[in-house]
Structure 1
Amino acid sequence: MAVTDIKDAEFDEKTSTGVDLIDFWATWCGPCKMQSPVIEHVAEGRSDVNFYKMDVDENPKTAQEIGVLAIPTLLIKKDGEVVDRITGYTPADELNKILDKYTK
């Protein structure tokens, strides 16, 4: 599955059903640049999760409402409810194990 950019205005609608991973990032963030290819790799192997990226500089409303204080922050929602939050770089195998908790 591809990683899709998402905006403040569509966040609630797009993340209301199923399992969603949202990567909160910024262009100036070094660890975000390391995390991005990992998320893309994980997304390629999973059809059971929707993958989104949200630039916190362009979409501050959602990041503030959810309380994103550091980036990268990976938010996992299931059927519209936040079920997990991961801050900092996360390797692919660990990310897959976390996602498995919400998809199996």
Structure 2
Amino acid sequence: MSTIDLGADTFEKAIEEHDILLVDWWASWCGPCRTFAPVYEAASEQHQDVTFASISTEEEQELAGAAGIRSIPTLMAFREGVLVFNQAGALPAPALEELITAVKGLDMEEVHRKVAEQAAQRKA
């Protein structure tokens, strides 16, 4: 599966529609972004059950700001609509593979329970 491009009009919908969504925030002028791109693309070919997306911070400055992107590349992982990973920096292939395996292996009942508990605590 190739990487899909997301923007302000498709970002939230993609989070809702895909069980596992990885998002690479990048810019064309960013050296580490260019280094990470082939690693990310290769992983997208190996994991057909994961949706790989990218967002250009140059084209989507407002969205990047709203998402709190301070450094690029930044990789986010969403599972069942929940942000489960958010880290700046280019990952080497073995680390990306480890991340994908970890995201696939999450106990999502437990994750959703913790999210609900945190939401309840914020309201209290």
TM-score scaled by structure 1?
0.94
Q: What percentage of aligned pairs have identical amino acids?
A: 31
Aligned length: 104
Q: Quick check: which one's helix share is greater?
A: 2
Please report how far the alpha carbon of residue 82 of structure 1 lies from its aligned counterpart in structure 2 after TM superposition: 0.8
- Report which of the two has the higher share of strand: 1
Q: List runs of 5+ in structure 1 lacking aligned partners.
A: none
- Asked whether the equivalents of residues 48 and 103 of structure 1 are also in contact (C-alpha less than 8 Å), the reply is no
Indicate the structure whose relative CO is greater, using CA pairs within 8 Å and at least 6 residues apart: 1
Extract unaligned runs of 5+ from structure 2. 106-124
1:75-96 CA-partner distances (Å, limit 9, x unpaired): 1111121110121110111111
Pair member with larger Rg: 2
Give the aligned CA root-mean-square deviation in angstroms: 1.0
- Aligned equivalent of 1:74: 75
TM-score w.r.t. length of structure 2: 0.80
Question: Helix, strand or coil for the counterpart of 1:57?
Answer: coil
The reply to whether residue 19 of structure 1 matches residue 20 of structure 2 is: yes
Task: List structure 1 segments (4+ residues) > 6 angstroms apart after TM superposition.
Answer: none
Amino acid corresponding to residue 6 of structure 1 in structure 2: L
